[in-house]
Amino acid sequence: MRQSQEMKCIYINLDSAGDRRTRFEANWAANRGADWRLERFAALDTRYVEQHAVGGTLRPAEKACFLSHCSSIALNMNATAPLFVLEDDAVLGPHSAPTIDNFLRVSDNYDWDIVFTEVGIVSPAAMLDLIKLRQELTGKDEVRLLDLAKLPFGGATGYIINHRSLKKIGALLGVHEELHIPYDLLLRKLIYEKKLKGLVFFPFVSSLSSASPSDIRVEGAADRIWTAFRQLAWLDRDLDALRPAIEQIGEDLCDEESRLLGILLAGQASPSFVTK
């Protein structure tokens, strides 16, 4: 058996979210790497934001999320191993630890500051391309690292920071006295601007818990679709468990035209489809 790789892991969880804490820790215990060390960071809440008069146009919950991520990183600036940051609605599966450990063994061969374990994909065209890629990779029992500078993405539910990049990332995050852009979109901006080198495992090696809607996302049509895709593209997905939520999206959102279009797009996602 290959040795697990050392890594410090922080999960962000509100003091009031006991059920989420219980679910996260149970999933973690079942799927963690043997040498992964887990600590809980007590998430900052909207009361903290109000008490400290945090400026900016973000909603209070978004500000609290931003500051919680930044604080969890700031507390680990002197880490000597990679830092895995997770929100408490992240879930791991049986393939998560082996895949991540395989990367950590050879991570010095890569140019990277941050590697996401999963992201939201916000473009229908990119979703189609990635599902086709997932079919190709799972057929070869392969997980690939994709360059996030080339993907339309969002979300920061799970990511690993290169310990050699902690001070760099801390400096980039610490210049924002007022908060006008959500944390995940700031990371995306820094990656797009080439200030950070960001990668993502694909197929995704973590996902979102269906039992724990985010404390900060306002669940509209877009979020329901993006969340379902994150679960569909997961390496350890369960199609039977996922099917009801996706079918409900169809019931709630689709008219006759969009249903027919969906069949055309689904046909192109089929392994039997061959383009001309």
Residue 256 lies in a domain: yes
142-159: average pLDDT: 98
Instruction: Please indicate, yes or no, if residue 204 is contained in any of the structural domains.
Output: yes
135 in a domain, yes or no?
yes
d(CA 191, CA 7): 23
Kindly state whether residue 25 falls inside one of the protein's structural domains.
yes
Residue 93 located in a structural domain: yes
| CA-CA-CA-CA torsion sign (14, 113, 210, 265) | positive
Note whether residue 274 is domain-resident: no
CB of 92 closer than 8 Å to CB of 38 = no
The enclosing domain of 57 has a CATH number of: 3.90.550
Q: Considering its fold, how many domains does the chain have in total?
A: 1
Q: Which domain holds residue 211?
A: 7-269
At 240, is the secondary structure helix, strand, or coil?
helix
Q: How confident is the model at residue 1 (pLDDT cuts 50, 70, 90)?
A: very low
| Confidence at 3, pLDDT banded by 50, 70, 90 | low
Q: What are phi and psi of 207, to 5 degrees?
A: -150, -170
For residue 222, is it within any domain? yes
What does the pLDDT read at residue 5?
79
Asked if residue 124 is part of any domain, the answer here is yes
pLDDT at 4: 65
Mean pLDDT of 183-201: 98
235, 102 contact by CB (below 8 A): no
Residue 141 Rama label (left phi>0; alpha psi -120 to 50; beta): left
Instruction: Check pLDDT > 70 for residue 216.
Output: no
